[in-house]
Amino acid sequence: MSISRRDWLRLSAAGAALPFIPGFAMRRSDDPIRLHSNENPYAPAQSARTAVLEALDETNLYTGPAIARNLEAMIAAREGLRPEHVVLGAGSTEVLRMAALAYGLSGGEVVTGYPTYEGMEESAKSIEARVHRVPLKTDKSLDLSAMDMRTTKDVKLVFVCNPNNPTGSICEKEELNDFCMEVSKRCTILVDEAYYELVNHPRYSSAVPLVKAGANIIVSRTFSKVYGLAGLRVGYAIARPDIAERLRTHRTPMAVNLLGLRAAIASLNDERFLHYSKTQLAASRNQITATLRGWGHEVIESHTNFVFFHLGREIGGFQRSMASQGILVGRPFPPYLDWCRLSIGNEEEMARFTEVFPQVMSTPSR
């Protein structure tokens, strides 16, 4: 059942031997291994680190609007859009919150998949907006036709997480386009693309072309995942200028901080880091998927930096047992209480996981 740590490291090195060495991620030896929050273990790009260090000298000053405008223009240029299409937020969590406020405050209801990323539901509930959860299909992908049917006239916002968290699965391009063209006539759709940069599948497409075509759609993205800037809090929305303006009215003033802006500007077009980060994460993800399948676990095909797999025992007890061995894994995602969401760590961390996992599985849960 087990593969050795050395084998794991050898396989990882063979899969991802690249000439580029990024900065290293800090972890004190007694810190737990964090495979529970879908963070990027490869840390920020060196370009982002340098930019942050230089920006420290300016942190006594309020951040003027020019820096944010610069980043908005860069994002717009990358997407072939105008800066008016881009709204920055303190992480994409703030984008979800802006949308929940913009559409939920005046009695608007919200439709989401279930389970899905909880940021939208939490924001909607904080303003007492009604949320309709639509269960996933049996293959654990979003059930777009059920979400369509649930979109009654009081629904003002539909949340489509693509790829979906916690399952890692994608909606295929044609089905998503048909859904968006139909449902966006009735209400606004927010397509959460937090893991967009990691998807490499011929039947996947971003919803940005639909925004470009003038549809009633918001796309959210983040610098927290593939760029490794989760602690610096930068995300953005891409939407038609009138929708973008509506989101901006709910933005917390000056919430996006100077260090985050400088780091995002430095890393947005840092293709070498992006390539490194994507390649490493995909190689490790594919390797852990094969390992878990080899051990007999069902694993959903993931297009993200985490995998969702059938554990075959209650997740809460497993989580505690793994934590006692210094490894944090994902929390319970009802109704899949015998499934586990495992984030992709660096090679050492994944090697340690593959050592500890069989030991924990061979003993009763705590």
The DSSP bridge partners found for residue 190 are 159, 218
Asked if residues 157 and 137 have their Cβ atoms less than 8 Å apart, the reply is no
Peptide bond just before 115 cis, omega within 30 deg: yes
Q: What whole-number distance in Å separates Cα of residue 270 and Cα of residue 36?
A: 27
Q: Interface with ligand PLP by CB under 6 A: which range of 4-12, 46-54, 222-230, 350-358?
A: 222-230
According to CB under 6 A, which residues from 261 to 300 bind ligand PLP?
Answer: none
Q: Is 117 in the site for ligand PLP (CB under 6 A)?
A: yes
According to CB under 6 A, which residues from 154 to 183 bind ligand PLP?
Answer: 161, 165
Q: Is 112 in the site for ligand PLP (CB under 6 A)?
A: no
In the complex with ligand PLP, which residue's Cβ is closer, 8 or 306?
Answer: 306
According to CB under 6 A, which residues from 29 to 88 bind ligand PLP?
Answer: 38
Residue 24 is classified by DSSP as: P
Q: Interface with ligand PLP by CB under 6 A: which range of 45-53, 91-99, 127-135, 174-182?
A: 91-99
What is the secondary structure of 25-67 as a DSSP string? Answer: PP--TTSPEEESS---TT-S-HHHHHHHHHHGGGTTSPPPHHH
Site track for ligand PLP across 232-261, x = CB under 6 A = ---x--------------------------
Q: Is 328 in the site for ligand PLP (CB under 6 A)?
A: no
Q: Is 92 in the site for ligand PLP (CB under 6 A)?
A: yes
Q: Using CB under 6 A, which of 22, 41, 91, 168 touches ligand PLP?
A: 91
Give residue for tokens 């386009």.
177
Q: What whole-number distance in Å separates Cα of residue 266 and Cα of residue 46?
A: 9
What the block records as the tokens of 292 is: 């878990």
Q: Is 222 in the site for ligand PLP (CB under 6 A)?
A: yes
In the complex with ligand PLP, which residue's Cβ is closer, 8 or 196?
Answer: 196
Give residue for tokens 């994409």.
92
Asked if residues 240 and 95 have their Cβ atoms less than 8 Å apart, the reply is no
Q: Which residues bind ligand PLP (CB under 6 A)?
A: 38, 91-93, 117, 119, 161, 165, 192, 194, 222, 224, 230, 235
